[in-house]
């Protein structure tokens, strides 16, 4: 993930301030978590995978 983040930010763009970098990193992570479908998660986004795990866990607790 660190390499992915580095290549999507500091390797591609110049930032005039740390605040610009922080904002771009936050935007990238949001997009990654909600839009990027990963093979290791069977085509789910990280957010979808977490929701699936929580739902499964909640069902196991209540049964």
What's the pLDDT score for residue 63? 63
Helix runs in the chain, H state only: 2-8, 18-35, 46-62
47 phi/psi in degrees, rounded to 5? -65, -45
* pTM, entire model: 0.75
pLDDT digits (tens, 9 = 90+) for 1-59: 899 999 999 999 999 999 999 999 999 999 999 999 999 999 999 999 999 999 988 88
- Looking at the structure of the chain, the number of domains it has is 1
What's the pLDDT score for residue 58? 83
What's the pLDDT score for residue 47? 97
Looking at the predicted structure, is the pLDDT value of residue 62 above 90? no
Do residues 10 and 2 touch, judged by C-beta distance below 8 A?
Answer: no
């Amino acid at each position: 993930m660190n390499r992915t983040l580095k290549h999507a930010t500091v390797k591609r763009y110049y930032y005039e301030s740390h605040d610009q970098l922080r904002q771009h990193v936050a935007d990238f992570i949001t997009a990654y978590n909600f839009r990027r479908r990963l093979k290791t998660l069977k085509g789910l986004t990280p957010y979808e995978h977490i929701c699936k795990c929580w739902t499964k866990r909640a069902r196991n607790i209540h049964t």
